[in-house]
Amino acid sequence: MRIATWNINSVRLRLDNVLRWLKESTPDLVCLQELKCQTDQFPKQAFEDAGYNCAVHGQKAWNGVAILSRFPIEDTHTNLPGDSQDEQSRYIEALVSTKDGVLRVASLYLPNGNPVAEKYPYKLAWMDRLIQHARERLLLEEPFILAGDYNVIPSAEDVHNPAGWVEDALFKIETRQKFNELLNLGFTEALRATTDQAGLYSFWDYQAGAWQRNLGLRIDHLLLSPQAANRLSGARIDKYVRAWEKPSDHVPVLADLEIEAR
């Protein structure tokens, strides 16, 4: 089974790119972020015509997350527990049945946190909620994948100029500590389980020729529970789609698991 995450930065604007990539990379499950549309505006029919079922949690103009699956989607949950006042559409979770049993997958869009003085507390609080929810889900002892745009640069190898990012919300020490706290619950970060190569990026800003100069960041991740990690057979970043016309500033990150789809 091939599972991917992609911050598409407006699904309606990038629809042709997404459909082209789905045909080329043939993922079984796709977690999308930053839909930038309400749920009823999501181009569901186009994805169904491409062979995917859809679970969507949209929001007008901002945020929004979705799960695309070649297989039936069950038991969908939206919103991350822990704050009933949080109205931002940043989390969706569902079950997918396979021949090897149930697979739980979540698509998440973790807050950016910049500017730090204004928005960083919300980011840290959201990460605390994610950690608590993940801890509870791990007790189910099932394959579980937390996939999405984490807005977290895990290490110096994941950013083009580490010294220039130390006070940024994506790379502040508190951010990395929270991310490591999540990993230490028992998750495996798919890409880093397969390679320690530096300079592997999933995001390039639209400004200052970042793409042309390869001034990138790696902030999109797939975290695997132990029951999913022991089936990991490979991972990669589809960097080439960043060169397409009207690209997202993010590219897909994929993991292959030895799970037989129904």
Residues flagged as binding site for Mg(2+): 7, 34, 149, 151, 249-250
| Residue (of 110, 160, 158) closest to 133 by Cα position | 110
- The answer to whether 74 touches 94, Cβ cutoff 8 Å, is yes
Task: Say which of 91, 220, 250, 256 is annotated catalytic.
Answer: 250
Characterize 194-221 residue by residue with b for buried, 16 or more Cβ atoms within 10 angstroms of its Cβ, and e for exposed: eeeeeebbbbbeeeeebbeeebbbbbbb
Polymer length of the chain? 262
| Residue (of 121, 134, 222) closest to 181 by Cα position | 134
Supply 249's token pair.
Answer: 């500033």
Query: In whole angstroms, how far apart are CA 14 and each of 10, 24, 60?
Result: 6, 16, 17
- With the CA atoms of 180, 185, 191 and 197 taken in that order, what torsion angle do they form, in degrees rounded to the nearest 10? 40
Task: Say which of 91, 109, 120, 150 is annotated catalytic.
Answer: 109
Supply 60's token pair.
Answer: 């007008």
- Residue 75 designated active-site: no
- Residue 122 designated active-site: no
Backbone phi, psi, residue 192, to 5°: -70, -15
CB 89: neighbour CB atoms within 10 A? 23
Task: Say which of 28, 149, 158, 220 is annotated catalytic.
Answer: 149
Instruction: Detail the residues annotated as belonging to a binding site.
Output: 7, 34, 149, 151, 249-250
- Residue 250 designated active-site: yes
Active centre residues (catalytic): 109, 149, 250
